Amino acid sequence: MSNPSYDSIAPSLELIEQIARETIATLPEPWREPATHVVLRVEDFPSEDLLHAMDLEDPFELTGLYEGIPLTEKSVSDQPTHPDLIWLFRRPILDEWAERGDVSIAELVSHVTIHELAHHFGWSDEEIATVDRWWE
C-alpha cells in the first residue's frame, strides 16, 4: 500500500487514521467486516496514565495498543465495559518511520494496525503473516 504522496509530508492524525482505515478495508475475509467493529483512535502520544499502567517511561516506545478482550477469549457471558479499541500513536510511528528509512509511512501504519488487530483476533505469527507479509 505504498502511495508516494503519503511520504512527502509529515502525516497528520487524520492521514494516519485514513491509512489505518484503508488497511482494515482491504483485509481479506473473514476478517474485514469484524475488524470494522473495533474502534480506532489516533493520538500523538499515549496518555501519562496509559504509560504508567504499562510501566513505560518513554512515550516513543509505544506505536499502538489494543484495548479489549481478544475474540479467542471472549465469552457470551462477558459484559463489555467499553468497545474493543485500537490506539495508534502518531509521533512514535513517525519516529520509527524516520529511524527506519526503508518503509513508506503507509506500510508502517498498516503494519502497526494489523499487529493490533492480531491481538483482537488472537492470531498466531503464522496467521499474521498471511495478512501482513512484513511479519514473515
Q: Over 60: is that where the pLDDT of 1 sits? A: no
For the chain, give the percent of residues with pLDDT over 90.
64
Structural domains of the chain, ranges and CATH numbers in brackets = 11-70+82-135 (3.30.2010.20)
Confidence of residue 78 (pLDDT cuts 50, 70, 90): low
Q: pTM, whole model, 2 decimals?
A: 0.86
What is the average per-residue pLDDT within 70-74?
A: 76
Of the pLDDT bands very low, low, confident and very high (cuts 50, 70, 90), residue 71 is confident
Nearest CA to 46 out of 57, 59, 36, 33 is that of 59
